[in-house]
Structure 1
Amino acid sequence: MLTAERRQLILNILHRDKKVLSSELSAVLKVSEDTIRRDLRELAESGLLQRVHGGALLASPAIASYADRQKQAPKEKEAIARAAAKLVCPGQVVILDGGTTTLQVARHLPLDLQATVVTNSPPIAIALAEHPNIKVVMLGGQLYKKALVNVGAATIESLRMIRADLCMLGVCSLHPEIGISVQNLDEAHVKRAMIAGAAEVVGLATAQKLDTAASYVVESIHALTYLVTAPTVSDEMLVAYKALGLTIIRDALNPTA
């Protein structure tokens, strides 16, 4: 079997099973574990998977640029945003993390809603600038251009002063075992501070983000109060998350779905 054929087969197995183990691939493909590890390393460098101890998991689509991510799963993100926006109550202080899905949440907040939104995302702050009843608190810091969010010590220090009712977390990768993970270490620290400063945490994840992993772990899955995902996500795909005690929301009209 040619190297390219073997690596494509590895990807096929990964997409089917959501994970691969080096030892099992070695037995199935009849090559050494060293060869499999080399294959996984090359595939990881191409952004096609995320290596973990003993094997690999699916890589998040969030490795794309912000502009490209705005084009990914727009209907799913809009459905998630409609459902998530209903969780915001009048008078609350809400941390709205950066991301293309959280931007949609900002756009779906009712015009009569009175609340305070704290965000490290310039696009979200701009989207809420014309909202008549929402006070916007913009967190400073260094702009992480790929994700269009402010990160760094200044961002984290500001978050330490805030006790929010709700945090809407943009999810890069979510996995029942790995937890919440991202591609950038500075962003991981900021997300962790957001979680620490909120009474309840809402994870927003399209189907493409589920069962994937990235390089830097933010928190375990238990940091989330709710997981809001698209109505098209199957019950089978959510079994492991429900088993961990997460409240799953898939329908704007039925918040206990």
Structure 2
Amino acid sequence: MLKRERQKAILELLDKERQVSSSELIKKFKCSEDTIRRDLRELDQQGLLKRIYNGAIRIGPPITTFEQRLSVNVDAKKKIAQKTLQFLKEDSLILIDGGTTNYYLAQEIPDNFSATVITNSPYITIQLLKKKYLNIITLGGIFAKRAAISLGVETVDALSTFRIDTYIMGIHNFHPEVGVTMHSQQEALIKSKMVKSAEEVIAPATSDKLGVYSSFICCKATQVDQLVTDSKDIKLLKKFKKKNVSIEYV
């Protein structure tokens, strides 16, 4: 098999399995360990997969701006947002952090819903302002333009003054063994603090964000109470259930 064909087949296998080991690839393609190592290194350098110890995983969604992500998987995000509404309790303290699915969630909140909502996202704040009975608390800090959220010491300090009932977490990548991860250390630290400040953690996530991970860990899978997703990957979802993550299917 030619290198180009083999590498294409590796990517197709990853798209299906999400993670592969070097030993599996050596056996499947009947080639040497060095050959597979070179293939994985080249594909990693091209940004087509992520190399890990003894294998590779499929990469998650590309790192883009908030506005660019708003137009991606819109129908799925809106359906997930609608399913997530049931976890918002009236007259409670709710934290909704940045993320495009959370943006659509803010839009879906009923006009007569009464609660106090905290957010570090100006985009989400604008949607919440349209809801007559919501009290809104915005978190300050350094504004990260790409993610369109506030980060930094001010944000962490403000979170220390709350005991949040429900945290709706914006998900970048979520892996059953690694947990919720981000490509940015600052964002991961903020989310970690948010998780520790909340009684309940809800994770709305489209299927492309599951079974993959980035470099910086926000929390373990066991710290997430509820996953709301459109994923149909039964094998992967069973792994989340083993971590005591309840699943709401869209």
TM-score range, shorter chain: over 0.9
* Distance across 1 between alignment mates of 2:43 and 2:141: 34
The offset of 1:236, in angstroms, is 4.3
Residue matched to 1:246: 245
Structure 1 residue 202: Cα displacement: 0.2
Alignment correspondent of 2:16: 16
Q: 1:156 and 1:174 mapped to 2: Cα distance?
A: 22
Instruction: Determine helix, strand or coil for the equivalent of 2:51.
Output: strand
Matches within 5 A, 1:22-171: 22-171=22-171
Native 8 Å contact 1:60 1:173 kept in 2: yes
Letter in 1 for 2:199: A
Q: Please give the alpha-carbon distance, in whole angstroms, between the structure 2 residues aligned to 1:142 and 1:7.
A: 42
Amino acid at match of 1:161: T
1:175-200 deviation per Cα after TM superposition (whole angstroms, max 9, x unaligned): 11111111111100011011000000
**Structure 1 unaligned residues grouped into runs of 5+:** 252-257
Aligned partner of residue 58 in structure 2, secondary structure: strand
Q: What is the deviation of 1:64?
A: 2.9
Worse-superposed segment, 220-229 or 5-14? 5-14
* Residues 1:27 and 1:123: Cα distance change in structure 2 (over 3 Å): same
Report the Cα distance in structure 1 between the residues aligned to 2:45 and 2:203, rounded to whole angstroms: 27
With structure 2 as the length reference, what TM-score do the two structures score? 0.92
Alpha-carbon separation, structure 2, partners of 1:42 and 1:142: 36
Aligned alpha-carbon RMSD (Å): 1.8
What CA distance in whole angstroms lies between the structure 2 residues aligned with 1:40 and 1:147?
A: 29
Q: 1:169 Cα deviation (Å)?
A: 0.5
Q: Is the 1:50–1:215 Cα contact (8 Å) retained in structure 2? A: no
**Bigger relative contact order, structure 1 or 2 (CA pairs below 8 A, ≥6 apart):** 1
Q: For residue 237 of structure 1, report the CA deviation from its aligned partner.
A: 4.2
Taking a change above 3 Å as real, the CA distance of residues 234 and 17 of structure 1, as seen in their structure-2 partners, is closer
Deviations 1:74-120 (A, max 9, x none): 11111111111121111111110100001111111111111111111
Q: Is the 8 A contact 1:44 1:50 kept in 2?
A: yes
Quote the Cα distance in structure 2 between the aligned partners of 1:36 and 1:136: 53
Amino acid at match of 1:14: L
Bigger Cα displacement from structure 2, 150-159 vs 117-126: 150-159
Superposed displacement of residue 121, structure 1? 0.9
